Chains A and B, each alone.
Chain A
Amino acid sequence: MLDHWLEQAAISPEEAEKIRLFETQKPFSLHWELKTLLYLGVLLLNAGLGYLIYDNIDHIGHAAIIAIIGAISAACFWYAFRHRKPFSTGEVESATPYFDYILLLGCLMFLVMEGFLQYQYQVFGTRYGLVTFIPMVLFFILAYVFDNRGVLSLGITALASWLGLTLTPHELLAKNDFNSHTITNMGIALGAFLCAVTFISERLDIKKHFSLTYLNFGVHIGMISCLAGMMALGYPLLYFPLLCIAVGFFLWYARTRASFYFLTVAVIYGYIGITYMIFINDRGFEIEFYLFYFLFSCIGVILFLTNYKRFIKKVKP
């Protein structure tokens, strides 16, 4: 096979000899295998320890459990702290190959420990918001200090659950209804907030490479909340314009930043929204109408997507 390509490329014999030597002698990379194993090890260890606690919650001494889990967590953070690279607002390379995984293990262990403390001793009482608030703050700090996108994702998840927990009981007391309005509106606000964070960080030049993580959470949380508002709450006239704004924003983003990912995502969410609007507007149309709608709308979308090169502004070299 190699000879075939060498011949096709019309490469001189000396160069071909060099290439042949390179191809036969190049080392075999075990990078992804070992990384996957590290990750798997962290997940299994965490699941195992978490389950172990759950299983033996009445048998082992509580203090011992907390001590062990806390020690593992602390050891991980200590390792990360010892081996950290100097802080920078840009991207920092991992200090060691296992750095990210040990940090992740530390964070997950911290969650296990905290959950246990709350379950067993009700350390935080009924202030459930606080239970998620503490890891949220911790994870955000760790993510920025150690420059880790995985921990940032954990932090954003904690932020979402913290918002959900702090808003819900309040609403329950006030209105005594099943507060999905609050959750939906909070989702939209959170989505908008995450997008705003992206732009502020980029303007201030702080950790620009976190943009993807923020926007990725932002686009899905925001758009799903809009769709939920339309479908589950039954306020399409209120939430559909919001969805349109969101779709427009991400189309604009995709256009200026040459991002195919957000282009496709925005188009798919927008299409779901528009289709829903057409379907609830029941004027007694025949089934043919809907089939023709799908036919022509899909042709339109496909034409739009295949001409993406004209839509997306080329990044100037």
Chain B
Amino acid sequence: MIAYNSEWLDAIKLKDTAKSWHENGLLDTEKWEALKSQKPSGFYSPNIFIRIGLGIFCLILMNAAMGLLALTGIIDSEAGMSAFGIICAVIWITLLEIWIIGSLHHYGSGIDDMMLYTATITMIGCFYINFPYDAGPLSYCWVAWPFLVLGSIRYIDRLMAAAAYGCTLLIVLFTVAKIPDVALYLLPFSGMVFSAGAWILARKGQQRSALRHWHDLFIMVELLSLLSFYASGNYWVVQQVGLGWKELPVPPMGLFFWAFTFGVPVLYILGGLRLKERLLLDIGIAAVAVSIFTFRFYHHVLPLAWACTIIGAFIFVAAYFSINYLRKHKGAFTYDAGDEKVLLQEIEEQLIEQLIAAPTGKPEPPKEGFGGGDFGGGGAGGEY
């Protein structure tokens, strides 16, 4: 089912989890060392910067190779173009499967990512070329859908999962839009229902140990479902769709959508704090900002400069007092930095670690991601 060696994937994840136990003093050093040597993983997962570089150069290389192939004169007709697309996709997928993953054991190296994306794009593209001119958007989505879903399942790639989610959502929306008479009324609600369903499935999927390899993909789907749920009922989105499609200046049930625009962010934030769910909380905070923009789009209550100043001051003061409060009251919430890392934090840490730890010549403990493949193919460091 998965292209990568699943035992090694398990080993990486296990060592990641055990590392936080070890750092919190729940696992003695002896056990931790034993665990590290017992669970080897032979992936090639370089540091994030090497990954970016490899990705860029792999992309240029593949384009040059496809350019050379195109020069052989294969693309002289529409059928030739399609054949060209299929040939390229097959070549890239075969190389990826047999060589890059099969014998070189790349995992998140930049090369495997780019090969997968290029193969998918050429594959889908070869179908699009032969499409009749009157083909509706729905058929475009249906053609892309199986490749995106299969790609994300087999190569556990988050970007593919995101594309697959977007594609599925579009299929639902375009299908609903075809229903006569009531389509406009159903659209926001179908978006909401679909997102809510996806959210529940993604949450369930994250807890199933049989689906542990796709854990990160479920997180991606959860994130997107929260976004699309809010977007489905946001007043601005609803109003613009109504205006552009049916020329309705004011959408029906405007009051409901206003309530939704302001209610959902609050629900997200409260839910995030209650469930201790970071995604809900963060998206809730972002959604509050979007709601404010939505409101200002229709009602010019304050000049922009005043709004910026007042909101900025308010946010600053609110954050100031929250931090103060959290530092004085120990409880379920804390201001101390947690051990979960976000992408930016990871990059910053790597940057600082490399430039500050090395010159001082201090005996730094070998960190994950530093040597790239010291163990676990970089573990947490190689994840992004």
Residues in A lying within 8 Å of B, measured CB to CB = 1, 3-5, 8-9, 11, 15, 18-19, 22, 27-34, 37-38, 40-49, 51-52, 54-55, 91, 97-98, 101, 105, 202, 208-209, 211-212, 215, 257-261, 263-265, 267-268, 271, 287-288, 291-295, 298-299, 301-302, 305-306, 308-309, 314-315, 317
Contacts and interface: CB of A to CB of B under 8 A. Distances in A.
What are the nearest 4 A-B pairs in CB distance?
Answer: A44-B312, A48-B308, A41-B316, A29-B338
A261 B350 contact: yes
Contacts of A19: 21, 26-27
Nearest to A20: B26
Interface string B308-339: 11111111111110110011001111111110
Contact of A22 (B26, B304, B327, B345): B26
B355 A212 contact: yes
A27 B24 CA distance: 13
A46 B308 CA distance: 8
B276 A314 contact: no
B354 interface: yes
A38 B305 CA distance: 19
Most chain B CB within 10 A, of A3, A49, A298, is at A298
B355 A259 contact: yes
B244 interface: no
Contacts of A308: 46, 50, 372
Interface string B248-265: 000000000000000000
Interface in B356-374: 356-361, 363-364, 366, 370-373
Most chain B CB within 10 A, of A49, A101, A259, A314, is at A259
12 contacts: A9-B18, A27-B331, A30-B335, A31-B336, A40-B315, A54-B305, A212-B351, A291-B64, A298-B57, A306-B46, A306-B54, A317-B364
Given A268-B56, A308-B46, A45 B313 contact: yes
Interface in B158-210: 206-209
Given A97-B327, A264-B53, A295 B354 contact: no
Contacts of B352: 209, 212
A91 B361 CA distance: 15
A306 B182 CA distance: 57
Nearest to B284: A33
Nearest to B207: A1
Contacts of A264: 49-50, 52-53
Interface of B: 10, 13-14, 17-18, 21, 24, 26-27, 31, 35, 44, 46-50, 52-54, 56-58, 60-61, 63-65, 67-68, 71, 109, 111, 206-209, 212, 215, 273, 276, 278, 281-282, 285, 303-320, 322-323, 326-327, 330-338, 340, 342, 345, 350-352, 354-361, 363-364, 366, 370-373
A224 B54 CA distance: 21
B323 A34 contact: yes
Contacts of B366: 317
A315 B358 contact: yes
Contact of B356 (A42, A208, A263): A208
B312 A42 contact: yes
A35 to B, nearest CB: 8
A309 B307 contact: no
B234 to A, nearest CB: 21
Most chain B CB within 10 A, of A19, A98, A305, is at A305
Q: Is the interface of A mostly helix, strand, loop or mixed?
A: helix
A291 B67 contact: yes
A71 B282 CA distance: 34
A194 B357 CA distance: 20
Given A52-B305, A261-B350, A27 B333 contact: yes
Given A4-B209, A48-B312, A54-B305, 18 more contacts: A27-B332, A27-B333, A28-B333, A29-B334, A29-B337, A29-B338, A31-B335, A37-B285, A41-B312, A42-B312, A45-B316, A52-B305, A55-B305, A259-B355, A263-B50, A288-B68, A295-B64, A299-B61
B370 to A, nearest CB: 8
A295 B65 contact: yes
A259 B358 contact: yes
A27 B354 CA distance: 30
Nearest to A292: B68
Nearest to B38: A10
Contacts of A32: 337, 342, 345
A1 B24 contact: no
Contact of A47 (B61, B308, B338, B354): B308
B358 A258 contact: yes
Nearest to B46: A308
Nearest to A261: B49
A30 B326 CA distance: 9
B334 A28 contact: yes
Contacts of A49: 305, 309
Nearest to B352: A212
Contacts of A45: 308-309, 312-313, 316
Contacts of B345: 32
B308 A211 contact: no
A9 B103 CA distance: 28
Contacts of B53: 263-264, 267-268, 301, 305
Contact of B47 (A9, A260, A294): A260
Contacts of A38: 315-316, 319-320, 323
Contacts of A3: 209
B364 A315 contact: yes
A64 to B, nearest CB: 15
A167 B212 CA distance: 60
A43 B312 CA distance: 7
A32 B285 CA distance: 12
Given A5-B17, A263-B49, A34 B335 contact: yes
B68 A211 contact: no
